[in-house]
A and B are shown apart, each in its own frame.
Chain A
Amino acid sequence: MSDEDRPDELARGGGELEPVGDPIPDPGLPEEFPRPTDVDPALERRAELQVAGAFGLATLLTLGFCVAYFAIPKEKTIFGWDASNFTLGMTLGGALLLIGAGAVQWARQLMHNEEIVEERHPIESPEEDREIALDMITVSAAESELGRRKMIRNSLLGSLAVLGLPAVIVLRDLGPIPSDEELRRTVWVKGMRVVNDVAGTPIRASDLEIGQLVNAQPAVLVPTGDPEKDKAIGVLHGVELLDAKARAAVILVRMVPDEINPPPGREDWGVNGILCYSKICTHVGCPISLWEHQTHKVLCPCHQSTFDLADGGKVTFGPAHRPLPQLQLGVDAEGYLIAMGDFVDPVGPSYPQMERD
């Protein structure tokens, strides 16, 4: 605002006017006092040495970095620390810090530090400029005949608007459209062995003690270390393995049969008190891993959803909504645990079309 706009009264909030300098008039910029370095040559000299010293030391540290890069082997440690990382970081970091500190000290103590005052002008354009601008736009609108040739204008706008469509459509092949079947299916099929998720060994009912929880996988997801055997089982690799694992991972848990309270229709889904549940949390899909055997509950370490495995995998706490899906277990001719089919309920996080046919 220019001075003409600011007589001795100012518009305040709500449009009321109040006198300038109420209650206390602006005393103006206070006087700046000289710094100690301005008046004491000894201090000035000391500051100068500090700044030059910082820059000098920075040079030495940078050279130290170059030496350390070649001199310190990657695997060397000092007190358990990575010696190379420590030395490279401290020399380079120290050099940078000293350059910065030197420059700031120079500005603060030695450079002429008088504050100066610059005028502000209102951000809005002066009236004159606005009029010129409006005239220009009027003229160019008239010269382009944009207002007169509506057909051209509208067809141009239309053609530009539809250009948005290709921009969206070309992204269509980012991924396939998931089918309901694909979203639900896992690699479990009837007769597939349930194996230990580290060694890939099949599991007998007698291998589990009461209260024990075992992380398990379908046999096709754990390489046994024997290529012939892997081929016979059809063990997956790479991305197929990870994709399958993200849905098919399970936990086996053995409880006292009397303590199990199976939901209707699932009375025979276990074997000797051994039940099999999906390991993938129904909240946002973390693998559930914390087992509290006295209460038969498992807890998801990500968001603490808690499921009661003795009660059909029901949610007892936390943000998950659906119970952990259960896998029906059986025993094959050799006495190993097998799946009696795929999961009935969708595994992992819910999705919108989950309940639709």
Chain B
Amino acid sequence: MTDSPTVQKPIQETKTGRAAAGPVKWLDERVRLATLVKVFGRKVFPDHPTFLLGEIALWSFVVLLLSGTFLTFWFIPSQGEVIYNGSYAPLRGLEMSEAYASTLDLSFDVRGGLLMRQIHHWSAMLFIAAITIHMLRMFFTGAFRRPREINWLIGVTIFMLVIVEGFAGYSLPDDLLSGTGLRIAEGLMRSIPIVGAYISYFVFGGEFPGDALVARLYIVHVLLIPGILLALITLHLILVFYHKHTQWPGAGRTENNVVGPPMLPIYAAKAGGFFFIVFGVTTVMSALFQINAVWNYGPYNPAEVTAGSQPDWYMGWLEGGLRIMPNWESTIFGWTFSWNIFVPGVLLFGVLLTVLAIYPFVERWVTGDDREHHLLQRPRNAPIRTSLGVAGITAYGLLWAAGGNDILAVWFHLSIYEITWFMRFAVFIGPVIAFIVTKRICIGLQRKDRDIVLHGFESGIITRSPDGEYTERHQPVSPVEAYRLSEHERVSVAELPEEFDENGVRAPVRRVDKVRAKASHFYFADVVNKPTRAELEEAQHHGDGEHAELEAAEDEGFTGVTETGVPKST
């Protein structure tokens, strides 16, 4: 540990302190400021690069609020027709909506307007990406376990809202690309069983495209959803404060403590500085990389479309589902059911949100683990969860790739029909393969950890014995490292309750117990547990006597070495 900084004069005795004393006292008498500082001033925040993901999301949200507010000063949310007369010559004299015309003015006639538009769009992309990866981090490390299930659900709700929010923003400029997106959204609404056409008419105020939607989406985009998001994000952060942040396990880090730098000054400087970094990176990206150049697309015209139309990235997987779904449609009692649209376009999103929302509760039911957890799990130590997550990512990734099947076809000179057929199967087979492969990798890594704890790490030093045999020397790892590799919990498959109790009376096993036993088997049967103390002592003893044993082995007949290079015991 470093030396304490030079002891300073108490703050209240310095010049600044004396100057501030009055106002601070005034505040304290009204909001109990000193108690707030006492509670939060030295609150501990564990450090890890992955803990920055949530911060990227948070700061992107701030950037979105700032840049979005700027845009509202010029943007006109109206589909009223005007003749464009601004600076962009190629579109001059064209009939277009006020929304599109004002977006062009923002891009060409308001200084800094294009920069702000691009900052807003880039940070929206970054915001949703950061939220998504942040959520994956929570999933893979088991951070959703008690007591954080509610915060997980808040997070899933935020995830859903930002996708809707992003799509609403994408639709506002009323250019050809955004209009095409709305056209598709209208098709999705129509596919909702029984009430689809009504929903479409209610949303659009009548026929598509109508002239009501931009104004409606605008208030949803700038007030309704951001307001809800602001409330949910605040709640999310309050719970993080309340629960105290999770931490990675390691020497000295337990379920009963939290280790890291304090809020003041280190965390405040780092997190505060990080806001500027996120804002800065977004701004530099907006200076260098063009995004959503609406002037290239022209005003919305329902009879036109550009080839290679792509939605923003977070809609790509739903777009892929729409593209690869077989063209099933059926008529039942006279009602038309467009499964080809409803299943990938509406149901799939619902399925994803439902699976995300219920997963913590399913896992808790299967594992029977209802204890509080503040130490994160290394993904390898929850092989089935990790594999399920990777399978989910694979399905998402394949659907996303399918959403660009036309781009893939052009780039790789492939047949678009073959890509589509491939994807139709791949979205089902790919996740299964990913699951199996990930599970094997996790178990392999668990086995490696176990070997390192038992036998030490492979030193790379090869020893040749007098009779010519080569062995690699294993060296023990430090206690800190050995603890890190073996601090996790041992798991076992939950057994079915005995069918006969101690008095020999038959207690029927409920079906739910059987399902649970099967699920427990699925979760835990293949897990490689860390060694026990007895196993460790045995291995250490074995290691001390390695050479003696080698010689003994010679007499008894050498039977080869194990995977880790240790002679097999006979």
Binding site for B on A (CB under 8 A): 1, 6, 11-16, 18-19, 22-32, 34-35, 38, 69, 74-75, 82, 84-90, 92-104, 106-108, 111-120, 122-123, 171, 174-178, 182-183, 197, 215, 217, 237-239, 242-243, 245-247, 249, 279-280, 283-287, 289-290, 301-305, 315, 317-322, 348-356
B340 engages A321 (CB within 8 Å): yes
Determine the chain A residues whose CB is within 8 A of the CB of B323 once the complex forms: 303-304, 318-319
Nearest chain-B residue to A38 (Cβ)? B2
**In the complex, A350→B210 CA distance in Å?**
19
A32 engages B417 (CB within 8 Å): no
If A38-B2, A175-B202 touch, whether A355 touches B257 (CB-CB below 8 Å) is no
Task: Report the minimal beta-carbon distance from B273 to chain A, rounded to whole angstroms.
Answer: 3
Interface residues on B, range: 35 or more
Determine the chain A residues whose CB is within 8 A of the CB of B273 once the complex forms: 99-104, 106-107
Nearest chain-B residue to A101 (Cβ)? B277
**In the complex, A15→B195 CA distance in Å?**
50
Task: Report the minimal beta-carbon distance from B305 to chain A, rounded to whole angstroms.
Answer: 5
**In the complex, A27→B536 CA distance in Å?**
16
Q: Which of B272, B308, B368 contacts A13 (CB 8 A)?
A: B368
**In the complex, A103→B286 CA distance in Å?**
23
Determine the chain B residues whose CB is within 8 A of the CB of A122 once the complex forms: 372
B335 engages A301 (CB within 8 Å): no
B221 at the interface (CB under 8 A from A): no
B115 engages A85 (CB within 8 Å): yes
Determine the chain A residues whose CB is within 8 A of the CB of B453 once the complex forms: 23-24
B374 at the interface (CB under 8 A from A): yes
Determine the chain B residues whose CB is within 8 A of the CB of A320 once the complex forms: 327, 340
The 7 closest A-B pairs by CB, nearest first: A89-B287, A284-B187, A103-B273, A29-B252, A100-B276, A97-B280, A93-B283
Determine the chain B residues whose CB is within 8 A of the CB of A290 once the complex forms: 307
Q: Which of A74, A245, A286 contacts B301 (CB 8 A)?
A: A245
**In the complex, A115→B262 CA distance in Å?**
7
Binding site for A on B (CB under 8 A): 1-5, 42-44, 79-81, 87, 95, 108-109, 111-112, 114-115, 118, 147, 180, 183-184, 186-188, 190-198, 200-212, 242-244, 251-262, 265-266, 269-270, 272-288, 300-309, 319, 322-329, 331, 334-338, 340-341, 345, 367-369, 371-372, 374, 405-406, 416-417, 420, 453, 479-480, 482-483, 486-487, 489-492, 494, 524, 530-533, 535-536
Determine the chain A residues whose CB is within 8 A of the CB of B95 once the complex forms: 237-238
A16 engages B492 (CB within 8 Å): yes
B322 engages A284 (CB within 8 Å): yes
Task: Report the minimal beta-carbon distance from A93 to chain B, rounded to whole angstroms.
Answer: 3
Determine the chain B residues whose CB is within 8 A of the CB of A6 once the complex forms: 256
Determine the chain A residues whose CB is within 8 A of the CB of B254 once the complex forms: 26
Nearest chain-A residue to B204 (Cβ)? A175
**In the complex, A318→B88 CA distance in Å?**
38
Task: Report the minimal beta-carbon distance from B54 to chain A, rounded to whole angstroms.
Answer: 17
Task: Report the minimal beta-carbon distance from A303 to chain B, rounded to whole angstroms.
Answer: 5
Nearest chain-B residue to A183 (Cβ)? B197
A89 engages B191 (CB within 8 Å): no
Q: Which of B109, B190, B278, B486 contacts A74 (CB 8 A)?
A: B109
B327 engages A92 (CB within 8 Å): no
B374 engages A120 (CB within 8 Å): yes
A93 engages B284 (CB within 8 Å): yes
Determine the chain A residues whose CB is within 8 A of the CB of B258 once the complex forms: 117-118, 120
Determine the chain B residues whose CB is within 8 A of the CB of A321 once the complex forms: 327-329, 338, 340
- Can you identify 30 A-B contacts, CB atoms within 8 angstroms? A14-B492, A24-B486, A24-B487, A27-B480, A28-B251, A38-B2, A74-B109, A74-B111, A84-B114, A88-B115, A89-B284, A89-B286, A104-B270, A107-B265, A107-B269, A119-B257, A176-B206, A237-B95, A238-B95, A246-B207, A284-B183, A284-B186, A284-B187, A301-B307, A303-B319, A303-B323, A319-B323, A351-B200, A352-B192, A352-B336
Besides A104-B269, A113-B266, A242-B300, 13 new A-B residue pairs in contact (Cβ under 8 A), listed by A number: A1-B256, A23-B486, A75-B87, A75-B108, A90-B288, A93-B286, A94-B284, A107-B269, A116-B260, A197-B303, A319-B322, A353-B197, A353-B336
